[in-house]
Amino acid sequence: MKFGYSEVCLDHDTGARHPETPDRLRAIRERLKREHGVEYVDAAPADPAAVKAVHDPDYVAEFREFCDDGGGNWDPDTVAVERTWDAALKSAGLARWAAETALDGADGRGTPFALGRPPGHHAETDDAMGFCFVNNVAVAAGAALDGDADRVAVLDWDVHHGNGTQEIFYDRDDVFFASLHEDGIYPGTGAVDETGTGDGAGYTLNAPLPAGSGDADYAAVVEDAVAPALDVFDPDLLLVSAGFDAHRHDPISRMRVSTEGYGVLTDRVRDIAADTDAALGFVLEGGYGLDVLADGIAMVHDVFDGRQPMEPDDDVDDGVESLIDDIRRTHGLGEK
């Protein structure tokens, strides 16, 4: 794979006790030293105009001024320093690079994965939250739509609902947003009946999975709900908001996805992209157990490097089966 990476993203210093630290990127880099065929690419920071295309200009100005004044706590969880502005533009620029590289024809081992921070999927049009200031994947999707893509799909498999990405595109029919997330945790959004509004009605798909969901559950939702919906949408580009905090050993979730399970998800997503003839790129979101975060990203790389992940051998939870049926009814996908 090609990994987008920049040292600038390390300058966003959240403090020693914050879960979203520069050590996340350092751990990933250290783990990828053991892999073959890893290529790192830097990218230009996002232009502020590209950020303002998906965020309110007054919010962007407020965020920049907040950093220029030395930063601090935007809210109890979301911390900035003076250099956070530069890191956020760089992180968004790396996401944009992933979209553009995918659309330029990357395949197989050249599939792009943007390793930026701060993450972005909680950042809404006019507010920062959940460790996020600029919605990286939204900037990337917006740039793609301004370029060669007519339709972009975003699949968010972070353990937390991508409320910001949903909100930004909620009334649009050129972006399909799908989120697999743990039900009942931060930020408290992402119900099945949140499907979009106006022109965007039907273009948001939420799968709030019960706590304890594992590999078979996640794979079933992708196969039986997300894949058929994206087959109908027929995207030109599929971007994965790739958080790794649904891992069974992540410190801040109750989910049971294994490292091998992330390989299965990667394989399923690659199949969706192939079936819909969509370009494919990945953008880093959460993941706070350093070892399992790094192993998860190495697993994504390994799948594109030829590894066939082991299929889950456990049964799909009855509650997840009911969830899939609910999603399919809500989105007019018919019975399974």
Q: Give the active site residues.
A: 122
Can you tell me the distance from the alpha carbon of 273 to that of 260, in angstroms, rounded to the nearest whole number? 20
279 and 238 Cβ atoms separated by less than 8 Å: yes
For 325, residues 6+ apart whose C-beta sits below 8 A from its C-beta are 335, 336
Residue 165 token pair: 């990405």
Residue 231 token pair: 């087959």
DSSP H or E run through 112:
strand 112-114
Q: Is the dihedral of CA 47, 51, 54, 55 positive or negative?
A: negative
Can you tell me the distance from the alpha carbon of 300 to that of 160, in angstroms, rounded to the nearest whole number? 20
Can you tell me the distance from the alpha carbon of 160 to that of 183, in angstroms, rounded to the nearest whole number? 8
Give the distance from CA 210 to its chain's centroid.
20
| Residue 186 three-state SS | coil
Nearest Cα to 84, choosing from 10, 165, 23, 3? Answer: 10
Can you tell me the distance from the alpha carbon of 31 to that of 289, in angstroms, rounded to the nearest whole number? 13
157 and 265 Cβ atoms separated by less than 8 Å: yes
Alpha helix segments (H runs only) across the chain: 23-32, 48-52, 57-68, 84-103, 136-146, 163-169, 215-221, 227-233, 259-276, 290-304, 318-330
Q: How far is CA 90 from CA 45, 57, 179, 204, 229, in A?
A: 4, 18, 25, 28, 32
Q: How far is CA 163 from CA 36, 49, 129, 158, in A?
A: 36, 22, 10, 11
